[in-house]
């Protein structure tokens, strides 16, 4: 099992998400729950497409961290 870092961003009308290690993969939905479901499905679909094309599957490398700074 591989674990990819996913960035979730609040938008003006919902949420979006992308995977830095999988360029071209991005999703958007009204709720964060829907967005998470779509990105999970998108990761699986993206990797299946890479394998089908004989392309290498990037290893998970990106890390997402929250950094606290003074307000």
pLDDT in tens, 36-57: 999 999 999 999 999 999 999 9
- pLDDT for the residue numbered 9: 97
pLDDT tier at 1, thresholds 50, 70, 90: confident
Decide: helix, strand or coil at residue 18. Answer: strand
CA distance 42 to 58: 15
In a domain, 48, yes or no: yes
| Full residue range of the structural domain in which residue 40 is found | 10-52
pLDDT tier at 32, thresholds 50, 70, 90: very high
Domain tally, the chain: 1
In a domain, 69, yes or no: no
In a domain, 21, yes or no: yes
Taking 90 as the threshold, does the pLDDT of residue 28 lie above it? yes
In a domain, 59, yes or no: no
Taking 90 as the threshold, does the pLDDT of residue 64 lie above it? no
In a domain, 47, yes or no: yes
- List Cβ neighbours of 62 (8 Å cut-off, separation of 6 or more): 4, 5, 19, 20, 21
Record the tokens describing residue 47, joined without a space: 């990797």
In a domain, 26, yes or no: yes
In a domain, 25, yes or no: yes
CA distance 70 to 62: 25
């Amino acid at each position: 099992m591989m674990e990819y870092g996913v960035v979730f961003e609040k938008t003006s009308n919902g949420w979006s998400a992308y995977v830095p290690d999988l360029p071209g993969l991005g999703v958007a939905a009204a709720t964060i729950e829907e967005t998470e479901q779509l990105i999970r499905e998108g990761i699986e679909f993206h990797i299946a497409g890479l394998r089908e094309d004989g392309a290498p599957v990037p290893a998970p490398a990106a890390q997402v961290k929250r950094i606290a700074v003074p307000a």
